[in-house]
């Protein structure tokens, strides 16, 4: 297998949810034309505001629901699971970690039960010494040591961080190649978030996992992810290595997102105050979906969807401002345009490595 071949790939991924009771039928355009690739030993962050479609992408990649359009490839092969056996095979390779480790662990079962069950589902029945060794190894991988201290505990006897580690261990029991981590730290105490990210990074390196890290916190994307993809209203608006995307954002939306870190909700209120609300995904704005909030938008932006345009090595932005069209908008400083100083200095992105 060539090193640079993606493990998991989404091509022109699309998800439209029907709006219940609408006549004529309307749809929430949650995800449109999303392409992404996950590679061995690499973390890709998917960043965006609430409702931008991040979780939908994770659930599509996990095949928890059908796509409206597009394709999911595992090692270059169409991975659409057409029956239970195929789905089971897929889930062994592609595991998901959820936001709420309390909700995702059954409160009536001990760590031993949860992990044994996962091992049984994915690796067949293990017994005696073999089972104990596998349980020990799983807890060791997520740094819950010594295993004996945790193995017979119930979820309520563990801290949030320990619960999330157990949820990660349960995912590792499948011996996956891909982890889809949907906001894995957002419900945890700030003081233990870094520990979980460092654990995931360790797993990336030691097990060469391909990780999709979903977050609305662009600072953690910079800290943790090799590459960052920024999503706005169901579409990818910028991609590149995390350092460049966060330090030198090109798309006006990414610029706004970076400037309002670490509180993305602040972005919502500031942008609303300045330029209307986040768009309805039932009838998304034509052209660039960011155009109603963009201070630089022109007729071109209002009518034609911008493609992802190269804006540097390995970097792309879906903004007409970077095209060579004669009617392209001329970009300026987002902050000047909004007439505001940054709420929080960008240096908040400097997290202790
Ligand atoms: N099952 C569903 N039925 C209808 N609409 C849905 C469904 N799931 C998600 N949506 C809509 O799709 C859009 C994208 O939602 P999604 O949860 O993917 O966003 P998100 O970026 O993950 O947000 P958050 O950070 O709040 O989870 C939203 O408008 C949401 O209301």
Helices 190-207, 160-172: axis angle to 10 degrees equals 20
Q: Write down the pLDDT at residue 2.
A: 52
Cβ(193)–Cβ(220) under 8 Å? yes
Distance CA 146, CA 27 (A): 51
What sign for the dihedral angle of Cα 265, 17, 27, 31? Answer: positive
Q: Is 56 in the pocket of ligand 1 (CB under 6 A)?
A: yes
| Backbone φ/ψ region at 6: left (φ over 0), alpha (ψ -120 to 50), beta | beta
Could you tell me which residues are beta bridge partners of residue 43?
211
Burial class (CB in 10 A: 0-12, 13-18, 19+), 250: buried
Test site for ligand 1: of 30, 98, 257, most ligand atoms within 8 A of the Cβ: 30
Test site for ligand 1: of 34, 54, 96, 282, most ligand atoms within 8 A of the Cβ: 54
Provide the token pair at 131. Answer: 């089972």
Q: Write down the pLDDT at residue 50.
A: 86
Q: Write down the pLDDT at residue 65.
A: 95
Distance CA 34, CA 185 (A): 24
Q: Beta strands 27-38 and 42-47: pairing type?
A: unpaired
Q: Write down the pLDDT at residue 99.
A: 87
**Residue bearing the CA closest to ligand 1, atom 17:** 55
Distance CA 117, CA 124 (A): 10
Q: Is 47 in the pocket of ligand 1 (CB under 6 A)?
A: no
Distance CA 235, CA 247 (A): 21
Q: Is 247 in the pocket of ligand 1 (CB under 6 A)?
A: no
Which residues of the chain carry a pLDDT beneath 70?
A: 1-3, 260-278, 335-353
Q: Write down the pLDDT at residue 353.
A: 30
Q: What is the pLDDT of residues 45-56, one digit of tens each?
A: 999 988 899 999
Residues ≥6 apart with Cβ < 8 Å to 90: 63, 74, 79, 81
Query: From the alpha carbon of 234, which atom of ligand 1 is closest?
Result: 14
What is the DSSP-derived secondary structure letter of residue 75?
Answer: T
Q: Beta strands 69-74 and 235-241: pairing type?
A: unpaired
Q: Is 15 in the pocket of ligand 1 (CB under 6 A)?
A: no
C-alpha angle 226-232-234 in degrees, rounded to nearest 5: 105
Q: Is 52 in the pocket of ligand 1 (CB under 6 A)?
A: yes
Q: Is 22 in the pocket of ligand 1 (CB under 6 A)?
A: no
Q: Write down the pLDDT at residue 280.
A: 78
What is the DSSP-derived secondary structure letter of residue 216?
Answer: S
Task: Give me the residue label for tokens 């945890």.
Answer: 188
Q: What is the pLDDT of residues 63-110, one digit of tens each?
A: 999 999 999 999 999 999 889 999 999 999 999 999 887 788 999 999
- What Rg, from alpha-carbon coordinates, does the chain have? 21
Helices 111-123, 128-141: axis angle to 10 degrees equals 110
Query: From the alpha carbon of 57, which atom of ligand 1 is closest?
Result: 18
In this structure, the dihedral spanned by the alpha carbons of residues 18, 24, 29 and 32, taken in order and rounded to 10 degrees, is 110
Cβ(301)–Cβ(330) under 8 Å? no
Q: For residue 103, count other CB atoms closer than 10 A to its CB.
A: 13
Burial class (CB in 10 A: 0-12, 13-18, 19+), 248: middle
Domain ranges of the chain: 247-349
* Cis peptide upstream of residue 303 (ω within 30 degrees of 0): no
Q: What is the pTM of this model?
A: 0.90
């Amino acid at each position: 297998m060539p090193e640079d071949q993606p493990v998991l790939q989404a091509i022109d991924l699309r998800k439209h949810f029907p709006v219940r009771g609408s006549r004529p039928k309307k749809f929430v355009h949650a995800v449109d034309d999303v392409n992404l690739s996950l590679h061995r030993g690499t973390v890709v962050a998917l960043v965006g505001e609430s409702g931008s479609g991040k979780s939908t992408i994770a659930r599509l990649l996990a095949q928890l629901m059908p796509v409206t359009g597009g394709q999911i490839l595992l090692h270059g092969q169409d991975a659409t699971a057409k029956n239970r056996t195929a789905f089971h095979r897929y889930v062994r390779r592609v595991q998901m970690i959820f936001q709420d480790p309390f909700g995702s662990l059954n409160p009536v079962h001990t760590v031993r039960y949860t992990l044994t069950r996962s091992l049984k589902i994915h690796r067949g029945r293990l017994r005696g010494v073999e089972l104990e060794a596998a349980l020990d190894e799983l807890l060791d991988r997520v740094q819950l040591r010594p295993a004996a201290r945790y193995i017979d505990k119930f979820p309520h006897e563990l801290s949030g961080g320990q619960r999330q580690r157990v949820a990660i261990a349960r995912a590792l029991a499948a011996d996956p190649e891909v982890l889809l981590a949907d906001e894995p730290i957002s419900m945890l105490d700030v003081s233990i978030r870094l520990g979980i990210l460092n654990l995931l990074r360790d797993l990336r390196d030691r097990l060469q996992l391909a990780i999709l890290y979903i977050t609305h916190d662009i600072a953690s994307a910079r800290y943790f992810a090799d590459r960052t993809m920024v999503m706005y209203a169901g579409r990818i608006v910028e991609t590149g290595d995390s350092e460049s995307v966060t330090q030198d954002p090109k798309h006006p939306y990414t610029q706004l997102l970076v400037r309002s870190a670490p509180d993305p909700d602040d972005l919502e209120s500031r942008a609303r105050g300045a330029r209307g609300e986040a768009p309805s995904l039932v009838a998304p704005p034509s052209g660039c979906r960011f155009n109603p909030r963009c201070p630089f938008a022109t007729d071109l932006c209002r009518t034609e969807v911008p493609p992802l345009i190269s804006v540097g090595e390995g970097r792309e932005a879906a903004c007409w401002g970077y095209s060579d069209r004669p009617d392209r908008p001329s970009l300026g400083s987002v902050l000047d345009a909004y007439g505001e100083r940054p709420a929080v200095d960008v240096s908040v992105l400097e997290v202790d490595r």
